[in-house]
Amino acid sequence: MRKEEYAKPSRSLTTSSSEVSRREFLKRIGLLGGGIVIYVSFGDISSRAQQLTDFNAFLRIGADGRVTCFSGKIEMGQGVLTSLAQMLADQLGVPLKSVDMVMGDTSLCPWDMGTFGSRSTKYFGATLRHAAAEARAVLIQMAAERLHVPPQRLTVKDGQVIDSQNTDKKVTYAQLTRGKRIERHLTQRTSIKPAFPHTVSGKATGKTDARQMVTGEARYAGDIRVPGMLYAKILRPPVHGATLKRIDSENAKKVNGVKVIQDSDLIAVLHKYPDEAQKALDKVHAEWEIPEPKVDNRNIFKHLTASAPPRQTVTQSGDIEKGKRLAAKTFESIYFNQYVAHAPMEPHTAGVHIEGKRATVWASTQTPFWAQKEVARTLGFASSDVRVITPFVGGGFGGKTRNQQVIEAAQLARLSGRPVQVAWTRKEEFFYDTFRPAAVIKLRSGLDRDHRIVYWDYDNYFAGARSSQPFYDIAHHRVSSRGGWMDGGDQAHPFRVGAWRGPGSNTNVFAMESQIDIMAEAAGMDPLAFRLANLTDKRMRKVLSAAAVKFGHRFAKTPSRKGFGIACTDYQGTYVATMAEVKVDEKTGYVRVERVVCAHDMGEVINPLGARLQIEGCITMGLGYVLREEIRFKGGNILDENFDTYELPRFSWLPKIETVLIDNPAMPPQGCGEPAITPMGAVIANAVYDAIGVRIFELPMTPERIKKAIIKG
């Protein structure tokens, strides 16, 4: 389960890795009484240069036999709290219930770059298995000496080491570690054998923090209370790029119990109740200089195309000119998608408590170690004197990586001399969100006389390159990218943009897999047969076939009027094939998604239940950006401020969702939090085309856009 070692804010560690601080660290993680601790410094998580100490632990086996995993990753709903514990329990040979997880605490956990990109299981999990394998080896060695049995005769089960020839001869991990302190530091990746047979990993397991969530015990950043804490509401510009001309906060200052803080551009009202702070802030009178808007939802694509940096080649093969010459039929399309908000249900929140030269921070963040650095910089403290604790996080989806609210809370805690909580309103959340960038894809492709794709020229403006590498057999291809999802924010976009669940890929797969369907129709083939005819990648063929079997309908050449769609992708090693059935009301342009089938090959599956939940979540969330979600804006003015105009998917949108998990235990576990959202644009666009014979090139496919496309023919 989730261990809240942070219940009481306590002293953080000193910076030097001297014996004193090492002792302090061991004390903090409760190891002075005995136990085993494994440190790891290799792999994806340990960028040594960034690590503050050389002794952050990966796992500890206490003298009571309880196992604790320390991970700089954070849990925000994606289920790694459970799946990582499963990997650890399995490799170590302990029951799941004896594992505690401490995640996203910068004073206890190994440095981590952040939680995004479906990387936690794939990279952290793999390293964790190493740590567990080492601990297991240590325990077996200790047991061998204690039981006078050669180590190769010993097996582990349920936290005990057992003599396989005489099962009465056994000793528990707790007995072995009591009174002893063993530290191991792994610096090299060695080949380890995954535990087999699996006892915990691979088993469908419900979220281990579910009970806390259904009882209200789960504490999110906004639920943390510190004595004397004030709630801050901050004056915001009406539009991005506005400058403050004049301010009058006299009326706000008259409100009982209010503290008004003004420090150059940071103007905030603090009160012991957040609603009272908001009321007082509303009394602040501010005049702004507002820049003329240059771009809006209509002209943004033209603007982006014109302001793009030079092309960078993502991948190429063969000779693009030769491919063009070989093509009997060529196809040219331009695909667009609008800006999309992350809109996690929990807005950005942070609390900061400064005591002397140390600070404790509770942050709703995907990047606690970046937050630590930012707070240290803001306060002029050493990083090691800033402890960032990541409590429950109410969704992130890539949007909680910049920590603006953490910096604001730190500044206000310093200026007010009180613990301060900053919790954004929904309007602030929409205003400061780092939107998924609007993007343009120009795509030219060609078929030879045998219906083989011989030519593919892909030019990407601002989506980001992920998943844009073709997986079909295309002899002559070139894939270029201009500006990624993090680039060009100041010049090209009128506000900040950033990674959004499946960054880049949502746009790329929409374009690529729409184009494939266009060519399938021209080839006179059904979209599944055309894909298989141009595909030798065995894994992709397998997921496509698995999805097709589950889908149960035959595809026909489009438009078949049945409303069937298909799309597939390779997302960072996870293969996905999705099929959908839609109904389109041609009068209103309204699309009803009736059914979605998704087959997923993510290598070894750690938690089948958690995996299905992630896939279902991807499909449901995906309906939003595909059908409705777009940020309406005029220059730096964000017109969507709440869920009345920005529509999220609802219960009434629900299609029937079926998931197929491909059994592929020989491949190490890949990611699962994002892959299945990425084919949603193409699978629905293809299904809409199959239903009504009209191709939609812009996301979201709102009823208005569909009606317009129908009229245009």
For residues 202 and 212, what is the distance between their CA atoms, to the nearest angstrom? 24
Smallest distance, Å, CB 652 to other proteins? 5
Q: Could you give the 3-state DSSP secondary structure of residue 458?
A: strand
Whole-number minimum distance, CB 641 to other proteins, in Å? Answer: 9
Residue 426 CB, nearest approach to other proteins (Å): 4
- Which residue number, 79 or 504, has a Cβ lying nearer to other proteins? 79
Least distance to other proteins, CB of residue 643, Å: 4
What count of other Cβ atoms lies within 10 Å of the Cβ of residue 395? Answer: 18
Binding site for other proteins (CB under 8 A): 76-79, 206-207, 209-216, 218-220, 222-223, 225, 231, 272-276, 343-347, 392-395, 397, 423, 425-426, 609-610, 613, 616-621, 642-644, 648-652, 654, 657
Q: CA distances (Å), 385 to each of 26, 107, 255, 381, 382, in order?
A: 17, 9, 35, 6, 5
Tokens for 401? 């990586």
The least distance separating other proteins from the CB of residue 194, rounded to whole angstroms, comes to 25
Nearest to 619 by CA among 579, 590, 584: 579
- Closer to other proteins at the Cβ: 61 or 657? 657
Provide the minimum distance between the beta carbon of 121 and other proteins in the complex, in angstroms, as a whole number: 15
CB of 103 to other proteins, least distance (A): 14
Whose Cβ is closer to other proteins: residue 180's or residue 211's? 211
Helix H segments across 329-460? 368-379, 404-416, 426-432
Determine contact, residues 672/601, Cβ cutoff 8 Å: no
Taking the complex as a whole, the smallest distance from the CB of residue 622 to other proteins amounts, in Å, to: 8
Please say which residue, 42 or 220, places its beta carbon nearer to other proteins: 220
User: How far is C-alpha 527 from the chain's CA centre?
Assistant: 31
- Name which of 343 and 631 has its Cβ closer to other proteins: 343
Q: Judge contact between 313 and 457, C-beta under 8 A.
A: no
> Residue 569 carries which side chain, given as an amino acid letter?
T
Amino acid identity of residue 46, one-letter, is S
**Cβ proximity to other proteins, 421 vs 445, nearer residue:** 421
* SS3 (DSSP) at 324: helix
Q: What stretches of 417-504 adopt beta strand conformation (E)?
A: 420-423, 439-447, 453-461, 476-482
DSSP 620-678: HHHHHHHHT----EETTEE---STTTSPPP-GGGPPEEEEEE---TTSPP---SSGGGT
The residues, any chain, with a CB within 8 Å of residue 305's CB and separated by 6 or more, are 440, 461
> Cβ 711 to other proteins, closest distance in Å?
31
CB of 435 to other proteins, least distance (A): 15
The Cα 545–Cα 541 span in angstroms is: 6
| Shortest distance (Å) from residue 625 CB to other proteins | 12
> What is the Cβ-side half-sphere exposure of residue 54, based on CA atoms within 13 angstroms?
10
**3-state secondary structure string, 504-543?**
CHHHHHHHHHHHHHHHHHHCCCCHHHHHHHCCCCHHHHHH
Q: Which two tokens stand for residue 452?
A: 């083989």
Whole-angstrom CA distances from 578 to 136, 265, 436, 680 are 41, 49, 22, 8
Closest CA to 387 of 72, 617, 94: 72
Identify the three-state secondary structure at position 125.
Answer: helix
For residues 559 and 622, which CB has a smaller minimum distance to other proteins in the complex?
622
Q: Closest separation between CB of residue 282 and other proteins, Å?
A: 13
